[in-house]
Amino acid sequence: MNELANMLRSRADFRLRLLAGVSAAALTIYTIGSALADGEASRPTVWIELGAQLEQMKDEEQPFAPAFVANVPSDFVSPLVVQKPLEYSFGEEGSVSFQPAGSDLVLSASVRFGRSNGQRQKQQETANAHVPVHITTPLKFDSVKYPSSHIRFQESSSRQSESHIILDFQAGKDVGLGIFGRQTSSTFSAGVRYAQFSSKSTTRMDGEPDVHYPSQAITTFAALAAFHSAAFHFHDYAGTASAQKSFHGLGPSVSWKASTVVTKPSDRGEVAIDWGVNAAVLFGRQRAVGHHQSTIQSFYKKGFGLGKTAFRAAFQTVSSAVHSSAKDHDRARSVVVPNLGGFAGLSAQYSNAKVSIGYRADFFLGAMDGGIDTSVSKAHGFYGPFASISIGLGG
């Protein structure tokens, strides 16, 4: 519950900051635009843009699932729940574009980066029960208690972190598209895209979730004596895993960005709908390094302490077996990664300033090695809202 509450508070705080930032940016734009605009001011030759985004992440990494996970009793939550992939990434972006006066050529460079960290923990425990004793005796037994040293429990924890950076260098041509109306601008670009992703994770599991005790009520001295020497059995398990994964690649890219004016509230400003698509093919290398180990220990013990008597019996291990396994992996390979993306949004622009909000998605197919013992290429992607502010210089 604490994890969920913290996540909800984090999302709400970000939305409030994003809304406040966009509102402040719009007010700033209005002030700057009014000061810089002079009716028929010439078009800026340089645009500088800064922004931020809240992105959901698409991550398909294989969870660490030792053999004992399949034997967890149904009244316990699976320990795999703590390995749920990170959901959100917070990031920043910036770009610079240059369009010489009197030219329809646009040169641009942009960077976008984000990061995310998360920690999850799950603990479950059942208190030792009391077996009722129904015997007429001056000793007045109420119940006998199972040994406290072997309650049923399970605990698991996981830490994860992720970071990414995307760089673009493009040259484009500003053209018009009559099919969308005279108030539409459009730019086709081609260039180079570089992307780098990295992630780290650690996981731990411990438990004795299947401790089995005799459960019948005790009604005779013979049953009491039998309980005193009765046997119980359980499994003690432990597992740990760590992994580091990465991808970096470079390749050709193309994009198309368009904007259509929907209203002009004044001579100095306009409101437009913006959209665009992008594609790239990245030639790069993915790597996965990790270690995992697990241990299952089986116990068969006899002897119980009697809750309200002076009788105590030492626990005797009748039998015990240990099954353990451990494995390391360190692999790397060259991959070709298709990249597809797009965005849509709304912008308010003056001659020398602009504020934009919208929604964007970018997916990199087969970029990350999501496997543990064997290589499995998985998609990696980001999608979510963004906001930015731009200032035009020169002209």
Question: What's the pLDDT at 177?
Answer: 59
Query: Residue 139 in contact with residue 192, Cβ under 8 Å?
Result: no
Other C-beta atoms lying within 10 Å of the C-beta of residue 311: 13
Question: What's the pLDDT at 302?
Answer: 62
The gap from C-alpha 229 to its chain's centroid, in whole angstroms, comes to: 51
Q: State the distance between the two ends of the chain, measured CA to CA, in whole angstroms.
A: 56
What's the CA gap between 274 and 320, in Å, rounded?
68
What's the CA gap between 306 and 293, in Å, rounded?
38
Question: What's the pLDDT at 110?
Answer: 95
List the pLDDT tens digit at each of the 395 positions of the chain. 444 344 444 444 544 454 444 444 444 444 444 444 443 446 788 999 999 998 888 777 888 888 888 888 888 888 888 888 888 888 899 999 998 887 788 899 999 999 888 888 988 888 766 666 666 655 555 555 555 556 788 899 999 999 999 999 999 988 765 555 567 788 899 999 999 999 999 999 998 888 776 666 777 777 766 766 666 777 888 999 999 999 999 999 999 999 888 888 767 788 999 999 999 999 999 999 999 999 988 877 665 544 444 334 444 555 566 788 889 999 999 999 999 999 999 999 887 899 999 999 999 999 999 888 888 888 888 899 999 999 988 76
Report which of 27, 368, 22, 24 is spatially closest to residue 198, judged by C-alpha positions.
368
Report which of 18, 81, 134 is spatially closest to residue 388, judged by C-alpha positions.
18
Start-end of H helices in the chain: 2-36, 221-228
Query: Residue 188 in contact with residue 173, Cβ under 8 Å?
Result: yes
What's the CA gap between 172 and 175, in Å, rounded?
9
Tokens linked to 187: 């730019």
What's the CA gap between 260 and 10, in Å, rounded?
35
Question: 300: which residues sit within 8 A by CB, 6+ positions away?
Answer: 231, 232, 233, 317, 318, 319, 320
What's the CA gap between 346 and 8, in Å, rounded?
27
Where do the domains of the chain lie, and which CATH numbers do they carry? 2-393 (2.40.128.100)
Question: What's the pLDDT at 315?
Answer: 46
Question: What's the pLDDT at 312?
Answer: 41
Query: Residue 348 in contact with residue 388, Cβ under 8 Å?
Result: no
Ranges of beta strands (E only) in 223-352 are: 231-266, 269-302, 316-350
What's the CA gap between 2 and 7, in Å, rounded?
9
The gap from C-alpha 325 to its chain's centroid, in whole angstroms, comes to: 28
Question: What's the pLDDT at 133?
Answer: 67
How many CA atoms lie less than 13 Å away from 281 in the CB half-sphere?
1
